[in-house]
Every structure is written in structure tokens, then in C-alpha cells.
Chains A and B, each alone.
Chain A
Amino acid sequence: QSVLTQPPSASGTPGQRVTISCSGSSSNIGNNFVYWYQQLPGTAPKLLIYRDNQRPSGVPDRFSGSKSGTSASLAISGLRSEDEADYYCATWDDSLSGYVFGAGTKVTVL
């Protein structure tokens, strides 16, 4: 049971906007940066968003991150078939003194 709560699944049709939530607490999201990772089927995870809302070089601006209080969100606009993947939020937890991942959200493009 992760300390970060994500919906197990999300879906949308091509071109739609999909939002994934990540809920935590004051000891993790509320006091630390949030990261998002994309894991395409059969591949290693890839950093998608860092420090709440920053995109690494090469990540399309269709992906955006935001944070408010103890919750964070990842939005995918203009959904494409290649966005079908598992998405994980992550952050540092001060109480655990360790890094924590959410349980992941599987995004399906209908």
C-alpha cells in the first residue's frame, strides 16, 4: 500500500485531455518536489516531469505537471496512441526518510 494514491486507470480518445491525480500528505507531496515517470510496455521508466512541473529536454509540452497542497496532477493533452503506458508519481517522504512511488496509473487510448 503506497503512501501516494493514484487511480489505477485512466482513458481517453485520441486528441482528448487526460488527467492523473496523485494524493499524498504533508510529509511527502506537501513538503517536497513531485516527479512523474512514464513506463511504456516492456521498457524502463522514463522521467516525464521533475520538480512539480518541469519537463526534461525532449518531453513534449503535451505533458504538464501541477501541484496544490498535498496533491499533484499530470495532464496529457492531445492524447496520442503512443501515450499508452503506466504513469507513476514519486516524491520524497520526510517521515519515511525515503523515496516513494505511487502504485501507478495505466493510461489507455481508446
Chain B
Amino acid sequence: QITVKESGPTLVKPTQTLTLTCTFSGFSLSTSGVSLGWIRQPPGKALEWLALIFWDGDKRYSPSLKSRLTITKDTSGNQVILTMTNMDPVDTATYYCAQGSAFGELYYWGQGTLVTVSS
């Protein structure tokens, strides 16, 4: 059974760096063809793709946010970390992680974690 779950702060101040952790089970990010992505959704708005890391270590980022994002695999093997620098109130959103394939489909989604940016 595959599960993914997001964790991190619920409130961050403007200009701070956000660090989110995706903890997963039921699959290995070292298995060929597997990927894990981050997606966010501001309240009442559409989904926005942020970043993706592949089984082979390849990483892809949203062009509009690339300078602020870093996605990494934890050495434990079952966590992926997303950092976003210079947070702004417009970054207030529910952040999701999702397990996917090399083709791009995102099969298993976490429940999401709401991050509010406010002073």
C-alpha cells in the first residue's frame, strides 16, 4: 500500500524559507520509473506544479519558481524535502506531494498541508 504524507510549518513569515517534508511508504524512489512531485493550490485557486524528482536523481522545477525551489531526497530513502526561499503572502497555499511515474502521471497524493504566509 502506497502512502505519502506532507509535513511542515503551518505558518511562516514573509522572507523566511519554507521547508516541507514528504514522507512516503510502499515504494522506493530508487526504483526505475518512479518520481515524486510537489504541487500547490492557493485557496480557491487552481493547482500549480512546483517540482519533480526522478528515481535517477534528475530534478525539474517550475520555470517561474526555479530560483526559489530546491527538491532533495533524504538519505533515509523515504523522504523528499522541498525548500522554498523568500516566502511571500501570495505563496499561501495547500502544498501537496504526489508519487508518480517517469511519464508524468501523479498517482498517489498526500492529503496536503496548508501553509500560511503572514507576519
Contact = CB atoms under 8 A, between A and B. Distances in A.
A98 B60 contact: yes
Interface string A15-54: 0000000000000000011010101000011110011000
A8 B18 CA distance: 31
Interface string A76-110: 00000000000010111000111111111000000
Contact of B61 (A56, A90, A98): A98
Nearest to A101: B47
A46 B37 CA distance: 14
Contacts of A51: 103, 105
Interface of chain B, helix or strand or loop or mixed? strand
Nearest to A97: B60
Interface residues on A, range: 20 to 34
| A-B complex: 9 closest residue pairs judged by Cβ atoms | A50-B105, A99-B49, A44-B109, A101-B47, A103-B46, A104-B46, A92-B104, A35-B105, A96-B63
Interface residues of B, number: 22
A2 interface: yes
A102 B46 contact: yes
B47 A88 contact: yes
B109 A45 contact: yes
B46 A2 contact: yes
Contacts of B60: 97-99
Contacts of B62: 98
B89 to A, nearest CB: 21
B61 A47 contact: no
A45 B96 contact: yes
Contacts of B61: 98
Nearest to B37: A99
A101 B52 CA distance: 14
A102 to B, nearest CB: 7
B30 interface: no
B85 to A, nearest CB: 19
Nearest to B111: A44
